[in-house]
């Protein structure tokens, strides 16, 4: 019994004295063990996750785990859900790294929005998605153009306040001499 206590104390001491650089940077990294490399996936997983094959081995372990979870649920999904998941994977795989970062940031912003605001955005997206392609292209072009007022005349730069004079930068005034005050000085 005493040896068990000593062993536990020794293990605790090792963890407490481990250098900070040895610790993972976040709980997700600690909680998610390494996932299989692409060549280690089953044939069924490779078929389901095919749009991600080029990025799989460079993907973070927790993201791989998420996709593996989706792949495990894939056979129970309706054909419509399966198509949606496959389309999302294909869309994701075509995004640049910057676009993926922006998408993740947008997702995080959406998660922090009030439910009513999220629902309003969903409705707006649904309305946009139902538009004909010609109308979508027209809206994209309008969004890419600067507003009409900016094309006719450049906007004036905002006025910059002049900095207050620094007393240390101004030369010292000569010491006043004693002289009678004139009526102008008052």
Give per-10-residue mean pLDDT for the chain (186 aa): 44 38 46 87 93 90 90 94 91 87 89 90 88 86 71 54 49 50 49
CA distance 125 to 122: 5
Is the full-model pTM beyond 0.85? no
pLDDT score of 8: 38
pLDDT score of 125: 86
CA distance 44 to 23: 35
pLDDT score of 44: 93
3-state secondary structure 68-113: HHHHHHHHHCCHHHHHHHHHHHHHHHHCCHHHHHHHHHHHHHHHHC
Q: What angle do CA 125, 128, 133 make, to 5 degrees?
A: 140
pLDDT score of 95: 86
CA distance 69 to 73: 6
Sign of CA dihedral 24, 25, 31, 34: negative
pLDDT score of 136: 83
């Amino acid at each position: 019994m005493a040896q068990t206590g000593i062993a536990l104390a020794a293990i605790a001491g090792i963890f407490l004295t481990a250098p900070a650089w040895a610790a993972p940077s976040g709980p997700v990294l600690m909680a998610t063990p390494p996932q299989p490399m692409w060549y280690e996936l089953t044939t069924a997983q490779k078929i389901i996750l095919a749009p991600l094959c080029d990025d799989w081995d460079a993907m973070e372990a927790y993201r791989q785990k998420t996709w593996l979870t989706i792949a495990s649920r894939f056979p129970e999904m309706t054909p419509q859900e399966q198509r949606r998941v496959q389309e999302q994977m294909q869309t994701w795989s075509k995004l640049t790294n910057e676009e993926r970062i922006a998408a993740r940031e947008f997702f995080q912003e959406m998660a922090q929005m009030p439910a009513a605001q999220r629902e309003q955005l969903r409705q707006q997206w649904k309305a946009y998605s139902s538009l004909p392609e010609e109308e979508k292209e027209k809206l994209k072009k309008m969004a890419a153009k600067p507003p009409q007022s900016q094309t006719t005349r450049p906007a004036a730069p905002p006025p910059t306040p002049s900095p207050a004079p620094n007393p240390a930068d101004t030369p010292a005034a000569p010491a006043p001499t004693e002289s009678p005050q004139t009526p102008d000085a008052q």
